[in-house]
Homo-oligomer: A and B are copies of this chain.
Amino acid sequence: MISPELLKELLRFRKERDWEQFHTPKDIAISLSIEASELLEWFQWQTHQQIEQKLQSEKREQLEDEVADVAVYLSYLCHDLGISLNDAVTKKMHKNAAKYPTEKVKGRADKYTEYS
């Protein structure tokens, strides 16, 4: 995902604005949730066909901005809490493979709680 140099940029950006004081883990989590919602808002009311067209239009940039915002807060959170994203995702994918064995879930979208 984002490079080490870009992460340095993010850290410098908030430091030179004296914004670290606002970045408690809870407040970053709030902001991450708000940005994920703004990302979803780009798709609001749209049918899949309209989305296809919107993705080819000048409005695509708004979506990329929201994707960036989510990534930025995720980066701050992982950095501040010392979370390695690769390790976290690797571990979670192992859990997912156990929760959703291929032979049971192939082609089905049910949540794992639906499987006895």
Hey, what's the 0/1 contact readout for A31-42 against B, CB within 8 Å counting as 1? Answer: 111111111111
Within 8 A of B (CB), among A1-43: 1-3, 6, 9-10, 13, 16-19, 21-22, 24-27, 29-43
How many copies, total? 4
Are B17 and A45 in contact (CB-based, < 8 A)?
Answer: no
Pick 19 A–B contacts, CB within 8 A, sort by A.
A1-B2, A1-B75, A17-B100, A19-B109, A26-B43, A26-B46, A27-B44, A29-B42, A30-B40, A31-B45, A32-B40, A33-B33, A33-B37, A33-B40, A64-B92, A65-B91, A68-B85, A69-B92, A70-B70
What would 5 more interface pairs be, CB under 8 Å, given A13-B97, A26-B48? A9-B93, A16-B102, A65-B88, A65-B92, A67-B74
